[in-house]
C-alpha cells in the first residue's frame, strides 16, 4: 500500500510505532552524519565552496531559458536527440513511444528520482514493458513492490533479514544473513538483464550548458552499464539540472558525494558528451534526453521558492532532520521525503494535496546547515505555511483557517493589550488564570476540544499539536510582593 | 525532434510552453528578488571566491599521494620504475588471479605489457557479450587525480569503457607524469578535447544499500589493481 502526502499526520503516527524502522533510521543517522562530517573536513574551505555553489545555481536559475537552450544546442551538435515534456504524463508518453518504435522488450534502468517522480515504471508496465531497476536498493524495492524511502539509499527502511526473505520468495535463493551473498545474487541476476537489454534509462545529475554534457554519479557500476551497453540510452532530466560551465563540475563533484554518502568521490562518474563518432566505437548508437518541467518552472516565480530548484538531491537534509529520523521516508507520501521533500512535494503536486508537509518540521534549521547549495529550507517551509494560511495557495477550495480570521485577530488584540503595560498584564494574567480552568489538566494545557475549541478555534488548532504550560497559581510578581524578596537566601545575594 | 509529424508539432509546442513558462515566472519573481537578496545579505551579482589550494608536487610525490588515496578506498596500487618492471608486475598479478580469459583494451602500452602465452586466452577489444565471460580486464588510463585516488578514462583515446567495467577484476596501468593533484586540473585538461565519454573511477564497485553495510563488487569490478610507471 502506498501512502499519500495528504495523510502525513497519520502516516507519521504509524511510523513512530515501527521499531524495525527506528533501528534502520538510527543506523542511517549514526553512519551518514559521521561520514559526512569526516568527508567535508577534507575540503579547505567548505563554506566558501557552498557559497560558490549557491551563486552558480542562483545565476543559472535566473537565466534558465538561456542556459537550457545553450545546453540543448551543444548536445544536439554532438548527436543527442531532445524531447520536451511539460508534465510527467508527457514524459512517460515520450519514453514509451521511443521504446515502442524500437520494439524494445528488455529495458534496464538506473536509479533516477525524476523517473520515480513521474511513475515511469508503472506507465511502462501498463503497456507490457518491464523496466528492470538495476541499482541494488531500487531493485530490492521493485521486487517488494514498494517505493523508495530515501533519495540516496532507497531501501534503508528494510533489514537484511527482510531482504533475505524477499530474495528467498522472489528469486529462490537459500535463506542467508550474509550481505555479500545477497549482493552477489543481485549481481548475477542483473548481469543477465544487462546482457539482453535493448534500451537503458537513466537520470542525470548535472547538465553542462557550455558543452552539452550530462554527468551521472554512482557507486555500483550499474549506471555505467545502463549507459554503455544497450544500443539506446534515454536520460530523463528535470529542467533545473543545468550548470553553466564544465569547470563548475569542480564545485559540484566536491559537494555532492561528500554531502550524500560522505565520500570524497563516488566510485564512478560518467561524463557523457553526445553519441559515438564511429560505428566501431563503444557506447550506444543513440542518446535521447527528455527535458521535463512537471511543475518546476512555476517555482521560479519567487526568489524563496526558486531555491527549491537548486537542490542536487544529496539527501543530507534527510539524514540531519529530527523529523525524518523519527518517521522515515514513506510517511511523507512522496518520492521526495524529508525537509527537501516537505518543500518540493507541495509545489510539485499542488499544496492542497500536501498541506501537512510544510508543518512536518520543527524549523530547527539542521537542514539549512547541511545543505551543500545553501537552500534556506526553513524559510521555504514558512513561505509555504503562509501560502496555506493566507489561502493564496491551492486554488478556490474552502480553507478552514480563513474562517478563523476574526477570532484569531481578536485573540491577538487581547494578547497585545495584556502585554502593553504592568496593570493590563496583571489583569490579563488574572483573566487567563480564571479562563484556563476550563482546559488545564495536570498543570498543562493539552489538546483542547469540545465547546472551548468551538469558542476559541485558534486554541483548538494550536493545542492539537503541542502542550502549553498553564499559568501558575501564583505568579513570581505576586510571590515577590508577598515577601519572597525578604527571604534570607536572596538577601545575602542582594546584600553583596 | 521526434520522428512522426504529429509528435514533432507537439514537441515544438511543449518546448515553447516550457520556455515561456520559465520566462513568465522569472518575470513574476523579479520585483521580489532585490529584497530577498538583501534580506539574506547576498550580493546581487553573486561573486563567490573559492579556489582549491594547490601545492607544487613532484610526479613521485603525486604518485605517492595517488596510491595512498586509492588504497584508502580499497584499491591496490604499485609504483614501478619502467615498462619492463611494469610488464613483470602485470605478469605477477595475472599469475595470482589465474584467469581463463583476459580482455585487454586497444591501448598500445597494454599490448606491449601483457605477455601472450598458450595458457591464457587474451581478447583485444572484445565484444560486450564476450566480456561477460572474461575474468580480468586490462586497460590504461589517460589521467589520474592524486587528491582522490581517481583514474580518468577518455573514450576518444582508448576503447576501455567496457573492458574496465564488465570483468570482475580491473587492472589499470598509468604513467606518473599523467597524475595531477586536483580534480580542477583534470577537468581543465579533459575539457580541452572533450571525449564522448570521460569516466572517473575511484576504487572498486561498491554499495551500502543493505543496512548501510559495505559490499564490494556489486555491478562493476570487485577488485581494482593499478600500476604506476614512474619514468
What would the DSSP string read from start to end of A372-418? Answer: TT---HHHHHHHHHHHHHHT-SSTTS--HHHHTHHHHHHHHHHHHHH
Best of B18, B169, B209 to disrupt the A interface (most A CBs within 10 Å) is B209
Higher pLDDT, A447 or A398: A447
CA dist A206 and B158 (Å) reads 25
What residue of B is the nearest CA neighbor of A247?
B187
pLDDT in tens, A248-297: 999 999 999 999 999 999 999 999 999 998 888 999 999 999 999 999 99
Q: Could you tell me the pLDDT band of residue A415, with boundaries at 50, 70 and 90? A: confident
pLDDT at A265: 97
Is a pLDDT exceeding 50 seen at residue B23?
yes
Distance from CA of B88 to the nearest CA of A (A): 28
What residue of B is the nearest CA neighbor of A46?
B50
Find the CB nearest B218 among A211, A221, A304: A221
DSSP state of A86: S
What residue of A is the nearest CA neighbor of B220?
A221
What residue of B is the nearest CA neighbor of A151?
B209
Q: Could you tell me the pLDDT band of residue A89, with boundaries at 50, 70 and 90? A: very high
CATH code, residues A43-298: 3.40.50.10420
Yes or no, beta carbons of A264 and B148 under 8 Å apart: yes
Domain match, B68 and B27 both? no
Contacts of B183 in chain A (CB under 8 A): 250, 253-254, 265
Contacts of A323 (CB under 8 A, 6+ apart): A12, A338, A339, A360, A361, A362
- For chain A, give the percent of residues with pLDDT over 70: 92
pLDDT at A420: 86
Q: Could you tell me the pLDDT band of residue A458, with boundaries at 50, 70 and 90? A: low
| pLDDT (average), residues B22-46 | 89
Domain match, B3 and B86 both? no
Domain match, B70 and B146 both? yes
Q: Please, where are the H alpha helices in A78-178?
A: 88-101, 113-117, 120-125, 136-144, 160-171
| pLDDT (average), residues B150-169 | 97
pLDDT at A80: 98
What length does chain B have?
231
Domain match, B39 and B91 both? no
Domain match, B157 and B215 both? yes
Contacts of A250 in chain B (CB under 8 A): 52, 183-184, 187
Reading phi first (left if > 0) and then psi (alpha if -120 to 50, else beta), residue A487 is in beta
Domain match, B88 and B154 both? yes
pLDDT in tens, A416-447: 888 888 888 888 888 888 888 877 877 787 77
Contacts of B198 in chain A (CB under 8 A): 271, 273
pLDDT at A496: 41
pLDDT at A68: 98
Distance from CA of A261 to the nearest CA of B (A): 9
ipTM above 0.90, yes or no: yes
Range of the domain at B31: 1-50
pLDDT at A469: 82
pLDDT in tens, A291-339: 999 999 999 999 999 999 999 999 999 999 999 999 999 999 999 999 9
pLDDT in tens, B67-92: 999 999 999 999 999 999 999 999 99
Is a pLDDT exceeding 80 seen at residue B46?
no
What residue of B is the nearest CA neighbor of A222?
B219
Question: For all residues of chain A together, what is the average pLDDT?
Answer: 90
Find the CB nearest B209 among A155, A266, A274: A155
CB A38 within 8 A of CB A334: no
Q: The CATH number of the domain where B195 resides is what?
A: 3.40.50.10420
pLDDT at A481: 84
Find the CB nearest A179 among B198, B200, B215: B215
Find the CB nearest A81 among B1, B18, B211: B1
pLDDT at A437: 81
Domain match, B4 and B21 both? yes
Question: For all residues of chain B together, what is the average pLDDT?
Answer: 92
Domain match, B82 and B192 both? yes
pLDDT at A404: 56
Task: Locate the domains of chain A by residue range.
Answer: 43-298, 405-481
SS3 B204: coil
Distance from CA of B72 to the nearest CA of A (A): 11
Domain match, B100 and B186 both? yes
Find the CB nearest B46 among A59, A183, A213: A59
The number of distinct structural domains making up chain B is 2
Domain match, B100 and B165 both? yes
Higher pLDDT, A465 or B22: B22
pLDDT at B6: 63
Amino acid at each position: 500500500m502506498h501512502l499519500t502526502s495528504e495523510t502525513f499526520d497519520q502516516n507519521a503516527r504509524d511510523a513512530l510505532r515501527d521499531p524495525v524502522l527506528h533501528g534502520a533510521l538510527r543506523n542511517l543517522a549514526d553512519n551518514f552524519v559521521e561520514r559526512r562530517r569526516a568527508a567535508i573536513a577534507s575540503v579547505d574551505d567548505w563554506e566558501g565552496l557552498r557559497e560558490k555553489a549557491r551563486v552558480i545555481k542562483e545565476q543559472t536559475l535566473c537565466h534558465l531559458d538561456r542556459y537550457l537552450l545553450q545546453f540543448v544546442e551543444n548536445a544536439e551538435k554532438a548527436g543527442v536527440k531532445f524531447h520536451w515534456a511539460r508534465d510527467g504524463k508527457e514524459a512517460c508518453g515520450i519514453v514509451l513511444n521511443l521504446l515502442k518504435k524500437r520494439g524494445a522488450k528488455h529495458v534496464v534502468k538506473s536509479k533516477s528520482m525524476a523517473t520515480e517522480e513521474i511513475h515511469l515504471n508503472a506507465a511502462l508496465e501498463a503497456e507490457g514493458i518491464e523496466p528492470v531497476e538495476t541499482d541494488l536498493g531500487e531493485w530490492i524495492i521493485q521486487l517488494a513492490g514498494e517505493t523508495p524511502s530515501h533519495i540516496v539509499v532507497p531501501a534503508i527502511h528494510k533489514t537484511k533479514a527482510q531482504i533475505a526473505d524477499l530474495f528467498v520468495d522472489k528469486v529462490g535463493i537459500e535463506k542467508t544473513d550474509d550481505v555479500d551473498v545477497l549482493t552477489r545474487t543481485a549481481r548475477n541476476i542483473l548481469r543477465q538483464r544487462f546482457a539482453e537489454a535493448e534500451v537503458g534509462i537513466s537520470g542525470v545529475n548535472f547538465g553542462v550548458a557550455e558543452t552539452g554534457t550530462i554527468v551521472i554519479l554512482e557507486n555500483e557500476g550499474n549506471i555505467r552499464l545502463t549507459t554503455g551497453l544497450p544500443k539506446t540510452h534515454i536520460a530523463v532530466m528535470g529542467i533545473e539540472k543545468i550548470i553553466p560551465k564544465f569547470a563548475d563540475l569542480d564545485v559540484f563533484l566536491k559537494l555532492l558525494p561528500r554531502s550524500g554518502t560522505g565520500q570524497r568521490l563516488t566510485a564512478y562518474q560518467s561524463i557523457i558528451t553526445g553519441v559515438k563518432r564511429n560505428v566501431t566505437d563503444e557506447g550506444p548508437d543513440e542518446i535521447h534526453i527528455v527535458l521535463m518541467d512537471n511543475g518546476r518552472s512555476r517555482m521560479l516565480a519567487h526568489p524563496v521558492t526558486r531555491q527549491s530548484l537548486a537542490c542536487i538531491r544529496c539527501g543530507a537534509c534527510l539524514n540531519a532532520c529530527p523529523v525524518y529520523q523519527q518517521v522515515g521516508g514513506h510517511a511523507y507520501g512522496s518520492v521526495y521525503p524529508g525537509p527537501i521533500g516537505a518543500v518540493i512535494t507541495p509545489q510539485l503536486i499542488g499544496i492542497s494535496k500536501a498541506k501537512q508537509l510544510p508543518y512536518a518540521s520543527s524549523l530547527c534549521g539542521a537542514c539549512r546547515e547541511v545543505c551543500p547549495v545553501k537552500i534556506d529550507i526553513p524559510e521555504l517551509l514558512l513561505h509555504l505555511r503562509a501560502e496555506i494560511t493566507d489561502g493564496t495557495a491551492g486554488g478556490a477550495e474552502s480553507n478552514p483557517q480563513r474562517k478563523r480570521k476574526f477570532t484569531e485577530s481578536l485573540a491577538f488584540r487581547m494578547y497585545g493589550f495584556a502585554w502593553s503595560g504592568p496593570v493590563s498584564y496583571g489583569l490579563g494574567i488574572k483573566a487567563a488564570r480564571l479562563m484556563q480552568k476550563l482546559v488545564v489538566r495536570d498543570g498543562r494545557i493539552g489538546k483542547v476540544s469540545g465547546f472551548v475549541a468551538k469558542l476559541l478555534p485558534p486554541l483548538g488548532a494550536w493545542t492539537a499539536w503541542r502542550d502549553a504550560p498553564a499559568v501558575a497559581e501564583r505568579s513570581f510578581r505576586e510571590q515577590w510582593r508577598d515577601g519572597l524578596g525578604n527571604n534570607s537566601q536572596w538577601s545575602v545575594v542582594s546584600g553583596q | 525532434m521526434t520522428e512522426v509529424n504529429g509528435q514533432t508539432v507537439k514537441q515544438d509546442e511543449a518546448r515553447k510552453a516550457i520556455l515561456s513558462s520559465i520566462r513568465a515566472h522569472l518575470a513574476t519573481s523579479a520585483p521580489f528578488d532585490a529584497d530577498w537578496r538583501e534580506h539574506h545579505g547576498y550580493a546581487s551579482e553573486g561573486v563567490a571566491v573559492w579556489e582549491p589550494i594547490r601545492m607544487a608536487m613532484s610526479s613521485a610525490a603525486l604518485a605517492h599521494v595517488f596510491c595512498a588515496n586509492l588504497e584508502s578506498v580499497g584499491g591496490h596500487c604499485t609504483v614501478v620504475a619502467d615498462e619492463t618492471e611494469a610488464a613483470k608486475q602485470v605478469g605477477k598479478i595475472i599469475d595470482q588471479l589465474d584467469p581463463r580469459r583476459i580482455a585487454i583494451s586497444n591501448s598500445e602500452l597494454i599490448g606491449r605489457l601483457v605477455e601472450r602465452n598458450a595458457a591464457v586466452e587474451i581478447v583485444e577489444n572484445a565484444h560486450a557479450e564476450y566480456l561477460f565471460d572474461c575474468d580480468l580486464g586490462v586497460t590504461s588510463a589517460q589521467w589520474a587525480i592524486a587528491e582522490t585516488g581517481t583514474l580518468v578514462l577518455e573514450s576518444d583515446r582508448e576503447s576501455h569503457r567496457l573492458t574496465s567495467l564488465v570483468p570482475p577484476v580491473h587492472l589499470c596501468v598509468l604513467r606518473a607524469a599523467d597524475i595531477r593533484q586536483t580534480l580542477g586540473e583534470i577537468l581543465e585538461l579533459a575539457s580541452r578535447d572533450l571525449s564522448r565519454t570521460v569516466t572517473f573511477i575511484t576504487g572498486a564497485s561498491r554499495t551500502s544499500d543493505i543496512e548501510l553495510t559495505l559490499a564490494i563488487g556489486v555491478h562493476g569490478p570487485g577488485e581494482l589493481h593499478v600500476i604506476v610507471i614512474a619514468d
